[in-house]
Amino acid sequence: MSRTAIIGGGLGGLAAACTLAARGHKVVLFEKNDWLGGKAAVLEEDGYRFDMGPTILTMPRVLERIFSEAGRDLHRELDLRRLDPQWRCFYDDGTVLDLRDDPKTAAEEIGKLSPPDREGFERFMQVASRLSDVSDRFFFWKSVEDLRDTMDLKGSMNLSTLSDVLALRMHRTVAGQIKRDVKDRRVAQMLEHFIQYVGSSPLASPAVLCGIAQMQQGEGVWYPMGGTRAVPLALQRLAEELGVEIRTGTGISRIEVENGRARAVITEDGERVAADRVVSNMDSVRTYRELVGGPAKEAFEKTRKREAACSGVVLYLGLDRAYEHLAHHNFVFSRDPEEEFAAIYDRGEPAPDPTAYIAAPARTEPGVAPEGGEALYVLVHTPYLRDHHDWSKMLPEYRRTILDKLGRAAGMGDIEARIKVERTLTPQDIHERYRVLNGAIYGLASHGKVLGAFKPGNRSRQVEGLYLAGGSAHPGPGMPMALMSGWIAADTADQDAGGVPARSRDVAAE
Q: Average pLDDT, stretch 475-479?
A: 91
The per-residue pLDDT for 331 is 97
The per-residue pLDDT for 438 is 94
**Residue 109: inside a domain:** yes
Tell me which of 162-171, 177-186, 377-386 is least confident: 162-171
Confidence bin at 136 (pLDDT 50/70/90): confident
pTM (predicted TM-score): 0.92
| Cα dihedral 152/156/158/160 (nearest 10) | -70
Structural domains of the chain, count: 1
Nearest to 359 by CA among 400, 312, 396, 302: 312
The per-residue pLDDT for 140 is 85
Contact 389, 282 (CB under 8 A): no
**Residue 170: inside a domain:** yes
Higher pLDDT: 425 or 503? It is 425
**Residue 382: inside a domain:** no
Give, as one character, the DSSP assignment of residue 135. Answer: H
**Residue 213: inside a domain:** yes
The per-residue pLDDT for 152 is 54
Alpha-carbon distance 302 to 44, whole Å?
A: 44
Give, as one character, the DSSP assignment of residue 269. Answer: T
The per-residue pLDDT for 158 is 45
**Residue 176: inside a domain:** yes
Answer yes or no: is pLDDT of 178 > 70: yes
Question: Residue-wise over 162-193: b if at least 16 C-beta within 10 A, else e?
Answer: eebbebbbbebbbbebbbebbebebbbbbbbb
Collapsed DSSP state (helix, strand, coil) of residue 480? helix
Alpha-carbon distance 159 to 453, whole Å?
A: 24
Expressed as residue numbers, the domain containing 156 is 103-217
Confidence bin at 452 (pLDDT 50/70/90): low
Query: What phi and psi, each to the nearest 5 degrees, are found at residue 161?
Result: -65, -40
**Residue 209: inside a domain:** yes
**Residue 60: inside a domain:** no
The per-residue pLDDT for 501 is 67
Confidence bin at 317 (pLDDT 50/70/90): very high
Answer yes or no: is pLDDT of 195 > 60: yes
Burial tier of 468 (Cβ tally within 10 Å: 0-12, 13-18, 19+)? buried
CA angle centred on 317, ends 33 and 407, rounded to 5°: 140
**Residue 182: inside a domain:** yes
